[in-house]
Each structure stands twice: as structure tokens, then as C-alpha cells.
Structure 1
Amino acid sequence: MELPVIDLAPYLSSQAANEDSADSLSETDALKRLCKHVADCLKEAGALVVRDPRCSTEDNDRFLDMMETYFGKPDEFKRQQARPDLHYQVGVTPEGVELPRSAVDSSVCADVNGLSEENRPQLPTGPDPKWRYMWRVGPRPGKTRFQELNAEPVIPPGFPEWADVMNTWGRKMIAAVEVVAEMLAIGFGLERDAITNLMHQGPHLLAPTGSDLSRYGKGTVFAGYHYDLNVMTIHGKSRFPGLFIWLRDGTRVPVKVPDGCLLLQAGKQLEWLTGGECKAGMHEVAVSEQTLQAVERARREGRSLWRVSSTVFGHIASDANLQPLGHFADSPTAHLYPPIAAGEFVEAELSAINLKRQRVQVQPGTTDQAAVIIDEDT
């Protein structure tokens, strides 16, 4: 199966032509159908592919070139940019730190047991062997209860182009997320700005991963079976295949992103906002036979063997309330998603996957406390 490709150009054109009217965008039947298609795709597959004329292949290549150079630096150099005191939400996260959700959440493992043999993921019990770099995208609030989630960025020495490359690509990707968020809201019968208003000054992150394909072979799981904790995730095309997603019916699908396109996935915050109507998409990154074929081509051409994901996490603002929106508040499953500050939700999720010292667990269905401390890291 190939994910549908949705061209954002018609919506962008209508947006530009109707800048002075807040309601006109949702009045065109063709645009309504397009927005409904976006909502249906995220509901059924947890993911879709979009083409945004503002996000070029050249921008993505410039970003990937720089990150391949960075991840290829010695480990001791990269570790200087780690900020564990800030929950690794800026700077680098070394390999062997982040735990996949499947390693810490019994409900995720229970779901896996219900899958057919050919659709089951591997379930590593230890941390992921990937590196990640977190770079803040866009403005942050002047006042917030969650300073660690809104910290200043870290720039590695020897990369004078770093801030420009990261900001240019990160802002373009977030702009695409915001357009999809508007279309999704219209498709779900909400106000056009229902989601984007909550995203204003959110702790958005350009968060590329780096996986060393010169060290790890077939079957290696770089990112174990998990969902993303944010509202929506967007990826530029990677130079190496290996991303697999699970559809709502439990089918495991290798992702193929056409040139010039972007992959978008639903996150846990979106599941919360829709009262479970749009589930967070489960996925993993693993070395497949196709990955090895791409490695051999890269070797012959003298290219880097680091698999870099061109990833941006779009977030709800830390101090905003996370709860089912509009008519989703009346859905039969709305009670499973109690109100919680987005920042509290994020901190609890980070604790569960070993990025925050105090281990906290968030589970749908909690009624008295949305965040429950389960132990202390040392």
C-alpha cells in the first residue's frame, strides 16, 4: 500500500486569495472535500503524504548534508551538546538513552499481541541505538510554567551555517503542519483555527535522528515500536528507507515518500484533542533489505552512511489545556482523555521514555491524576 499524496497548493491558493475573510476558506465544496480527505487519512492510517510547494527538495538536501556531517563527528564532540538537565529537549540525545514506548508501556505490548505474525514489530527491551538533535522552531512564550520545554537552542561549534539551515527548514516544515492542522480541523467539523490556536508558541522541535548504518546490520531497530507524543509529526524524505507504520487495522506498511513530498503522522496530542477518534500512529525504524541496498549504493558513491531523519515535532503550547475539542467532547471515549496542561502531559511522556529523571506515566482513562509518578531515576 502507498499512502495518498495530498497537494496543499489548492488550499494555499485559497488561503492567499481570501486573507481578509476568516470563513471563506471552508465555504468551497472542493476544499471541504480535500479537508475531509485529510481527516479521513489521518483517522484511518495515522499518516499521509503531502506536497507543499514551499518545501523544496533543495532545502531538505541542504539540511541532510549538514546533519550527516554533524552525526559523523566523534561521539565525544557530539556529547558536548547534550542537555540531560533540560530533558534532552535541546541539543543532542546520545544513542542508548531514549527508550521505545513498547519497552515501558504494557498496554502497547498488549496491543502487539493482538497483531498477526507478519504485522508484529520487534520489541527491543533496551534503549534505541540512535542519536537525535533537538532544535527549537519558532517563538516561545515570554512566560511559561515549563521552562525546560522552552529552553534556548544549542549550536555546535564549527557549524557557522547551523542556525540558518535549521531555522529555514524547521519553519517551512512547521508552516506545512499548520496548514494540515487547519485542513484537519475543517475536515473534522471544527473551527478552522481550533488546533492552530493551541499550537501558537508551542515547543515545536526540528528533531533529526542519526543512525549509523556502517555499524548496524539487517534487523537492527533504531527506533522501537512507538507513537509520537506531540500533536503532529512531519518528515522530509530520508536518503535511506526503514520507516514502518501501522494502519488502524493493524497492518504494518513500509513508508515510501515520493521525491519533493513530506510524510505527516498523527501524534498522541491529536488523539487527545479528538477524544480518540484520530489515534496516534504507531511506527518503528528498522534496517530492512531495502535499507541495505541503499547502503551499498551510498558506499559505491562515497556518500555518508548515516541515516538522517528530517523530522519536525509540532506541539500544542505548553501552558494550553489538552482536552477533546468541540463535538469530540461528547464522544463515548472522551472520558478517557481528561483535561491536562500540554506541558504536564509532555513531561510525563518524557519521563516514561527515559528523557526526564522523574519517571511518570500517563494513561488514557486516568480520572484523579493525569500524571502518576511510578519511580525515581538515579
Structure 2
Amino acid sequence: MKSIPHIDMSLYGKNFDDFAQHVGAGYEANGFVALTNHGVDQQLIEEALDISRDLFDLPADVKNKYHIPGGGGARGYTPFGTEIAKDAKHVDLKEFWHVGREIEGEPPFPELTPNVFPEELPEFKTKILKLYDALDALGLQVLEALAVYLKQPRDFFNDKVNLGNSILRPLHYPPIVDKGTPSVRAGAHEDINVLTLLVGSREPGLEVLARDGSWIPVTIIEGAIICNVGDMLQRMTNRVLPSTTHRVVNPPEPYSRRSRYSIPFFLHFNPDVMITPLKSCITEENPQHFAPISSHEYLMERLREIGLVK
């Protein structure tokens, strides 16, 4: 793999069957693709990135007001140096803010806790929730294609993610002051969730592990959204769709002297979904690798591994 495949999302409405095969083959080979012509307004993305910069420019004591101790980072602010990749020895060089699904009235699941928004930036809520909704809808289009590719009904995933505890994560990697730090911006890891959609950050640093063991640099192509398979979908597809290891390395100067901003959207199953390998993904050559586990139970297990839940 010298680069990740590009998926033209305009095929979704033109020739869905071809689109589904194109999407499925791209993910089966790489676990990562770049979505082009995706329909998410670029101005919406830029406004979300700009307001995120304003958010992280707030004084530390203001941001820390929105940190929820014991909350596992589920909502609000998570300070610099908190998260650590599974099996890593050093914390990641980042701070972030989590925004979850907005629910009117009584939430259907206790895991869907209320969002926390900064009083100091009233526009943050509006702009971030618009991006949340756009990426949620785009992720569902990708899942419709994958359902058909996996020999399931096109709407197979619809009622499994419509109330998922999906997270939008405005993310800030500050300038690297200590050139000798053993930490990196984000250690090698796989994502926990179903799909991740990433916008922003044209600076170098994101790398994907190829099957031959080499690291492939990924820069966000102008206007594209990077989208990768997470561990929950890998489990449900019995490793047919791989959750690929990736990292954000410390870039060379002059990039290391400035901040890096990005906004990943982590699409999750509904908390009560049982992640059971699909029968269409189990064969003699690929026997069942995983026992069934609920989406929420698996999430908690993984959050403990990365230090967000004690």
C-alpha cells in the first residue's frame, strides 16, 4: 500500500451496487480510504476547525472547568497528557473535547449523557453539532455500502447506529517544545469504534501501518475525508474488514513548532448492540475469531486500556 484508496461518494446516488463493491474492496484491502465528493460543506468543516482553535486557545483554568473527573472523557474537556495508546509507555501529546449525540427528552440509554459546551464560546455548540450531524449521515452512507458488500440488507446497520454513543472530538496537538520527548502526538493504535471519519489537519504526521510492516504517510487530500474501520466493525466482520494500526508522529520542523488541529468523528453502535461475527464472514478459511460482546461492555473494556476509565 503506497497510499489509501479514494472513494468517490457521488457514486452512492448514481450506481449504488458499484459503489458498494468499490467501498468494500477498499476497506478489505486497507482498512483506510479517503472519501471524495462526500457532500459535507467545506465551509462547515472550516468553521468547526476555526471554533476549535478558539476553544483550545482558552486559558487552561477555563478549559479545566469543563473536565469531568471520573467521566472517562465521555463529554467535555480532556487535558493534555491524559490519554495513552494501548500498551504504550508514554502519554500522547494532545488535548481534546468530546461532543456526543444530542438527545431531546429522556435518553434511551444511560450512556447517552448530556453534552458539555463552553459558556465562553456560544458559537461552538451550533457549529460543532452541524458537523456532528453531517458526519453521522455520511458514516451511515458508508455503512449502507458495507452492508451490501457483506451480503446483508442495505439497511442492516441503520437501527444499530441510530442511537449510538458516537463522539465528535475536536483535537489539538500543541507545538512540540521538548525535541527529546519520548512521547508522540498519538501512539500507534487501532480505533475502538465502528468507523472513524477525520477532517482537518493538512500537516504531516498521520501514518498507517501497511501489511508489509512499513508506515505509510497519509496527508488529507484537499476536500477529502479520511475514513477507517474500527475494532467493533472488525469484530463484527470477523476480520474481513481490518482495523488498521495508525499513529500521529512528531513531524519535522517547521511543522513541529506549530499546533496541529483535527476533528475525528467516532461512529459507534448503539450501547445494547451485540457485536457478533456475521455468518457471511465465517468460513473454513476464516473461522470465528471473536465471542459475542455488547457494544457498551466492549467500549468500557477498551477505555480502561487507554487510561480514560480507571
1:160 to 122, 126, 130: 122
Superposed CA deviations along residues 238-295 of structure 1, whole A, max 9, x for unmatched, are: 1422111112343311102211110001100010110111121111111223xx3446
> How high is the sequence identity, in percent, across the aligned residues?
23
1:150 partnered with 2:150: no
Contact residue 277 and residue 288 of structure 2 kept, 8 A: no
Superposed CA deviations along residues 319-366 of structure 1, whole A, max 9, x for unmatched, are: 111111241245655532111110000011001111112xxxxxxxxx
Q: Please report the TM-score for the alignment, with normalisation by the length of structure 1.
A: 0.76
Aligned to 1:99: 84
Aligned to 1:44: 29
Aligned to 1:175: 137
Q: CA deviation at 1:216?
A: 5.2
Contact residue 198 and residue 227 of structure 2 kept, 8 A: yes
2:97 to 133, 136, 146: 133
Q: CA RMSD in A?
A: 2.1
Task: Specify whether residues 294 and 36 from structure 1 end up closer, same or farther in structure 2 by C-alpha distance, changes over 3 A only.
Answer: same
Task: Specify whether residues 308 and 216 from structure 1 end up closer, same or farther in structure 2 by C-alpha distance, changes over 3 A only.
Answer: farther
Which structure 1 residue ranges, 5 or more long, are not aligned? Answer: 15-29, 104-124, 297-304, 358-378
Aligned to 1:190: 152
Aligned to 2:8: 7
Q: CA deviation at 1:138?
A: 4.8
Aligned to 2:49: 64
Task: Specify whether residues 332 and 77 from structure 1 end up closer, same or farther in structure 2 by C-alpha distance, changes over 3 A only.
Answer: farther
- State the distance in 1 between where 2:55 and 2:261 align: 10
Residue 31 of structure 2 aligns to which amino acid in structure 1? G
Q: 323-332 or 253-262: which moved more? A: 323-332
Corresponding pairs, count: 307
Aligned to 1:282: 245
Aligned to 1:79: 64
Contact residue 202 and residue 220 of structure 2 kept, 8 A: no
Which structure 2 residue ranges, 5 or more long, are not aligned? Answer: none
1:346 partnered with 2:299: yes
Please identify which structure carries the higher helix content: 1
Q: 71-80 or 152-161: which moved more? A: 71-80
Superposed CA deviations along residues 67-117 of structure 1, whole A, max 9, x for unmatched, are: 1111122222211111132211101111221111132xxxxxxxxxxxxxx
The structure whose Rg is larger is 1
- State the distance in 2 between where 1:236 and 1:218 align: 29
Structure showing greater relative contact order (alpha-carbon pairs closer than 8 Å, 6 or more residues apart): 2
Contact residue 161 and residue 269 of structure 2 kept, 8 A: yes
**What SS does the aligned partner of 2:153 have?**
coil
**What SS does the aligned partner of 2:70 have?**
helix
Contact residue 138 and residue 201 of structure 1 kept, 8 A: no
Q: Please report the TM-score for the alignment, with normalisation by the length of structure 2.
A: 0.92
- State the distance in 2 between where 1:211 and 1:176 align: 26
Q: 75-84 or 216-225: which moved more? A: 216-225
Contact residue 235 and residue 310 of structure 1 kept, 8 A: yes
Contact residue 170 and residue 263 of structure 2 kept, 8 A: yes
Aligned to 1:209: 171
